[in-house]
Amino acid sequence: MVRSARQRDVRRHLLIYAGLTPYLVIAIFPIFWMLITALKQEPDLYRMDVVPFWFHLPPTLKNFALLFQSTFYMDWIINTLSISFWVSVITLLTAVPAGYALARLKLPGSENLGIGIFMTYLVPSIILFIPLARVVSVLGLQDKWWSLVVVYPTFTIPFCTWLLMGFFKTVPFEIEEAARVDGCGQFAALLRVVLPVSWPSVITAMIFSFTLSMQDFLYSLAFISVSDNKPVPLGVATELIRGDVYFWGSLMAGALLVGVPVAIVYNLFLDKFISGITGAAIK
């Protein structure tokens, strides 16, 4: 009987992994394709008489050398990280008190106001381009990456406010009331009681704003044309595509060096990201 139960357990795991295998292949294949393309020599990329999924000439680091020596790739990475960092800070400093106020202070029409804030996130970016261009021009930030720090919160703050508002509603009122009895004010209760138990939602908001800032292309294309001020998505797409010439190896190398670390960070915080999303969705 023990052996039969073990066989059933092994069979169940085999079926589970067999079902997951196609999804694993779909998830890993783009990374695999970027890696072999980044390491291929130029003639090997355009050989149509061989299987394209492996090397037929010795691998090379020439594409990485071109990326770092002939472009501003390191500047692009620094710009991207700086933009994402400041956008995340601005988003959290704005969305945390806004979400808390809408969830806890019982403001008249707070529920409808929260829905209205979220609806602004759904406005297409192209519609906001003209008024935001005017704001960037008045501030004198054209062709500077600081212009994106001003622009990106227009779509990160609404979603993060809605997300945090939903999560704050799941925090029991009793623990906040206990803090108030112990002498904490409203702000102190937020810092000492509500935020410590709301870290999943705060981390979710931070990851969302950080990665959304990293992957945007439209606003960076509209507001930045100076090469060394571009973020990675814009720099790779505009500097490594020249007319009808595509530097495929360097394009894939640039995407790989940025995409893989982001995927690893997502994996590290995956549990908190899911709990933050589902905690907001429950309410």
Tens digits of residue pLDDT in 47-66: 777 878 888 888 888 889 88
pLDDT, mean of residues 146-153:
91
Quick one: pLDDT at residue 89? 92
Does residue 234 form part of some domain? yes
pLDDT tens digit string along 72-108? 999 999 999 999 999 999 999 998 888 888 877 776 7
Please give the Cα distance from 162 to 210 (Å, whole number).
17
Final residue belonging to a domain, choices 28, 60, 92: 60
Q: According to the model, what pLDDT value does residue 200 have?
A: 77
pLDDT at position 131: 85
Q: Is residue 67 part of a domain?
A: no
- Based on the domain organization, do 30 and 81 belong to the same domain? no
Q: Are residues 13 and 139 in the same domain?
A: no
For the chain, the C-alpha Rg in angstroms (whole number) is 24
| Helices first, then strands: H and E counts in the chain | 15, 2
**Tens digits of residue pLDDT in 200-255:** 788 888 888 888 888 888 888 888 888 888 999 888 888 888 877 888 888 899 88
Question: Facing residues of 242 across strands?
Answer: 245
Beta carbons within 8 Å of 83's beta carbon, 6+ residues apart: 145, 148, 149, 152, 213, 214, 231
Domain assignment present for 66: no
Same domain, 110 and 185: yes
- Please answer whether residues 163 and 208 qualify as being in contact, where contact means their C-beta atoms are separated by less than 8 angstroms: yes
Q: Are residues 82 and 21 in the same domain?
A: no
Instruction: Look up the domain containing 80 and give its range.
Output: 72-282
